[in-house]
Amino acid sequence: MLRKVLDSNTYMGVNLRHSDTSHMMANKDKLLDKLSDCMDNRFGDVGSGILSDTKIVSFQQWPDPENSADFGDSEVDRLTSHFKPILISSGVDVDLIADQWTIIKSCLYKEPQTLEKITWAEVRMLRETCPDFLDLVDLVLCMPASTADCERGFNVMKMVKSDWRSSLKCETLSDLLFVHLSSPSIKDFDPSTAV
């Protein structure tokens, strides 16, 4: 078939002609420029703003002790002001967060080799000293990296609340979704404990 198309320069009744290479390259460049602009518009703020400020919770992003004097100060301030209403409603004293950040930073930099291995669960030993800052960390760590769980939940809701079951009450729907989303799969279910 390919040989027939190449010999006749037609495909399904449409005449094929060689295009001008320079015109094609110009269109390709325009397409790539527009694609690049669209991607910059869509993802341009990933390297700045609140999303970028969350790097303080990644110990791999922390600088060497020599460069740590001002590390994270502006990020903590921006995160605190961004989440201020949520933090205040949770009983967090936002005025103490910056000072507690300095305390945690100095405690962790006392032994910089531990930064490679430590986790925030281990840092929670400083909870009594720095509760407000650790509440901010908990808030940042609970932000989802993707919306996959939400999408999965909506798909389950579509299956559970079909046309035949469209009159389900909110409580019943909530219970059914909870069971479906938090239960093990049928393959992993062992009914012997229920019998």
Q: pLDDT of 172-183, one tens digit each?
A: 888 888 888 887
Same structural domain for residues 95 and 134?
Answer: yes
Asked if the structure places residue 195 within a domain, the reply is no
Amino acid at 85: P
**Is pLDDT of 125 > 70?**
yes
CA 29 to CA 31: how far, in whole Å? 5
Same domain assignment for residues 24 and 62: no
Supply the Cα-derived Rg of the chain in whole angstroms: 28
Q: Tell me: pLDDT of 195 over 80.
A: no
Same domain, 53 and 131: yes
Residue 34 belongs to what domain range? Answer: 2-45
pLDDT of residue 179: 85
Burial of residue 4 (number of CB atoms within 10 Å: 0-12, 13-18, 19+): exposed
The verdict on 136 and 53 lying in the same domain is yes
The domain boundary, picked from 45, 61, 80, lies at 45
**What per-residue confidence (pLDDT) applies to 136?**
95
Residues 35 and 63 grouped into a single domain: no
Assign 185 a pLDDT band (cuts: 50, 70, 90).
Answer: confident
Whether residue 55 sits in one domain with residue 22: no
> DSSP character for 166?
T
Q: Is the pLDDT of residue 112 over 80?
A: no
Spell out the alpha helix ranges (H) of 65-123.
73-82, 84-89, 97-109, 120-123
**Residue 162 main-chain phi, psi, to 5 deg:** -80, 180
61 and 105 belong to one structural domain: yes
Same domain, 57 and 90: yes
Query: What does pTM read for this prediction?
Result: 0.56
pLDDT tens string 126-150: 889 999 999 999 999 987 766 777 7
- Domain-embedded: residue 92: yes
User: How many angstroms separate the CA atoms of 67 and 171, rounded?
Assistant: 54
pLDDT tens digits along 34-74: 988 888 887 776 666 788 888 889 888 888 888 878 888 99
Shared domain check, 29 and 103 = no
* Burial of 177 (C-beta count, 10 Å sphere; 0-12/13-18/19+): middle
Clarify whether residues 77 and 91 are in a common domain: yes
Count of alpha carbons within 13 angstroms of residue 125, beta-carbon side: 6
Question: Domain check: are 118 and 55 in the same one?
Answer: yes
